[in-house]
């Protein structure tokens, strides 16, 4: 077989694999209000038979990288969530566009000492898009804690999240990116993108707290973290605060 034929076959195979992955990607629906009208045994994540809780969708049998968990309506969810590999968690109405029409993750009503959302994936892309994330109290990343992996954090509203710890350094009242310098293998490979979010009333407590809204920790600076077009402090009354970097 000629080199040209081999190259053509390779391109076709890659295209076929991409098409196959796209074809099998699924959207899983979560809607607490509408799920109340569906028998628990019939809630399977379809649009007409949505899950009642976000965690049910994230733990669903058959969930796979590339899938979307779409939360519709403006319900409040008292949950602590961990994103599986390659999942896009998105609100149908984005909080940064319409706060009242978007769902709320109320961390204080779940376990306030754990992050609202934790990202610890190894390779796959993740996303958290469009949520109100309120009243977390974990020592690092009370709203979202990124320990490892690739993630887009976009169009969310972070409100009154507070990182505190008596004997350790609290980091990131709303978002914490830990070991930020270890996330990327090459320059300009943005593994964490924080874009278009609103931050109000978030804080770290204690004399060593860092990053009232966003806290990043690493041994050295590397261009693998992109922070752009965010609003830090919606009003003077609800500004973000920290001994070291309120924003």
Residue 1 CB: number of other CB atoms within 10 A? 7
Least confident range from 33-37, 120-124, 145-149: namely 120-124
Q: In the prediction, which pLDDT does 185 show? A: 56
Contact, 133 vs 162, CB < 8 A?
Answer: no
Rounded Cα distance, 210 and 245, in Å: 6
pLDDT, greater one: 179 or 125 = 125
| Distance of alpha carbon 111 from alpha carbon 93, whole angstroms | 25
pLDDT by residue (tens digit) across 67-120?
A: 999 999 899 999 999 999 999 999 999 999 998 999 999 998 999 888 999 998
Model confidence at 64: pLDDT above 50: yes
Burial of residue 130 (number of CB atoms within 10 Å: 0-12, 13-18, 19+): buried
Which three-class secondary structure state does DSSP give residue 124?
A: strand
CA atoms of 232 and 202, how far apart (whole Å): 10
DSSP designation for 212: S
Mean pLDDT for the chain? 81
For the chain, where are the E strands, in sequence order? 27-30, 68-71, 76-77, 81-83, 88-91, 104-106, 117-129, 132-134, 144-154, 157-159, 162-163, 175-177, 192-195, 198-200, 203-204, 214-216, 225-228, 231-232
pLDDT digits (tens, 9 = 90+) for 208-225: 567 778 988 766 555 578
Among the ranges 139-148, 157-166, 219-228, which has the highest mean pLDDT value? 139-148
pLDDT of residue 113: 85
Instruction: Quote the CA–CA distance of 221 and 144 in Å, as a whole number.
Output: 21
| CA nearest neighbour of 153 among 183, 197, 107, 202 | 197
- Pairwise CA distance, residues 112 & 143, whole Å: 10
């Amino acid at each position: 077989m000629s080199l040209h034929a081999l190259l053509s076959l390779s391109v076709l195979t890659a295209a076929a694999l991409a098409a196959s992955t796209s074809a099998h990607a699924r959207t899983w629906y979560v809607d607490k209000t509408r799920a109340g009208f569906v028998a628990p045994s019939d809630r399977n994540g379809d649009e007409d038979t949505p899950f009642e809780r976000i965690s049910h969708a994230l733990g669903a049998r058959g969930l796979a990288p590339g899938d979307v968990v779409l939360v519709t309506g403006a319900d409040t969810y008292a949950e602590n969530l961990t994103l599986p590999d390659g999942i896009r968690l998105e609100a149908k109405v984005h909080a940064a566009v319409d706060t009242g029409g978007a769902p709320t993750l109320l961390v204080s009503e779940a376990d306030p000492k754990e992050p609202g959302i934790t990202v610890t994936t190894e390779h796959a892309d993740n996303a958290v898009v469009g949520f109100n994330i309120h009243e977390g109290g974990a020592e690092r990343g009370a709203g979202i804690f990124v320990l490892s992996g690739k993630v887009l954090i976009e169009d969310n509203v972070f409100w009154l999240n507070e990182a505190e710890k008596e004997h350790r350094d609290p980091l990131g009242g709303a978002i914490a990116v830990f070991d930020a310098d270890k996330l990327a293998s090459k320059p300009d490979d943005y593994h964490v993108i924080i874009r278009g979010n609103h931050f109000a009333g978030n804080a770290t407590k204690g004399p060593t707290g860092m990053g009232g809204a966003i806290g990043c920790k690493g041994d050295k600076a590397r261009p693998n973290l992109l922070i752009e077009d965010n609003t830090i402090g919606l009003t003077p009354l609800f500004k973000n605060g920290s001994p070291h970097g309120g924003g």
